[in-house]
Amino acid sequence: MSLVTPDFGLLFWMTLIFAIVFFILAKWGFPAITGMVDKRADRIEESIEKARKAEKMLAEMTVEHNKMLDETRAEQARILKEAAQARDTMVGQAKQQAQEEAAKLLDHARTQIAAEKESALMDIRSQVAAMSVDVAEKILREKLSDSKTQLDLINRMLDEVTKTDNPS
């Protein structure tokens, strides 16, 4: 027997053992291995599908997030605009109210000034009239100290009164 060429008996037993081992493996081993490989392939496929779904959901969530951000920004802009309008309205009302109050105060001051002016004029007139009477009295006393001058003055005044009463 040579090392390179095996005997016929050895070849027969090796073939028979190989066939038995192959049969056992084909009957129970390969299906178990293929089942595990198939299960692993299915799990990998499921994981890939889940990853795709998660990626799709993430994309949808990103779109929804961006949409919500846009809505929030629009709402913020609207609120700021309303606040600015309310502020402008309040400032306008405050200005108008201040102008009305200023006008009332000015009218009141004008009325008070006019009343005080009228009162001052009346007081001045009464003082001037009193002074005029005093001056006239002093002048008349001086001029009418004698009776002839008194009669001349009375006659002249009567003539003037009669002339103004009868304009003919």
Tell whether the model's pLDDT for residue 113 goes beyond 90.
yes
Instruction: Output Rg (C-alpha) for the chain, integer angstroms.
Output: 65
pLDDT bucket at 165, cuts 50 / 70 / 90: low
Contact 144, 150 (CB under 8 A): yes
Give residue-wise pLDDT tens across range 61-77.
999 999 999 999 999 99
Q: What are 120-130's pLDDT values in tens digits? A: 999 888 888 88
- Write down the pTM of the prediction: 0.42
Decide: 7 and 13 in contact? Cβ < 8 Å: no
Q: CA 29, 35, 38 angle in degrees (round to 5)?
A: 140
At residue 145, the pLDDT reads 66
Going by pLDDT thresholds of 50, 70 and 90, the confidence category of residue 101 is very high
148 pLDDT exceeds 90? no
**CB 119, CB 127: distance < 8 Å:** no
Least confident of 13-17, 19-23, 109-113, 141-145: 141-145
Q: Is the pLDDT of residue 164 over 90?
A: no
Question: What percent of the chain has pLDDT above 70?
Answer: 92
Q: Place 114 in a pLDDT band, splitting at 50, 70 and 90.
A: very high
Q: How many residues does the chain have?
A: 168
- Output b/e per residue, 51-60; b: 16+ Cβ within 10 A: eeeeeeeeee
Tens of pLDDT, residues 5-45: 778 888 899 999 999 999 999 999 889 999 999 999 999 99
> What pLDDT, on the 0 to 100 scale, is given for residue 37?
93
Q: What confidence score (pLDDT) does residue 2 get?
A: 66
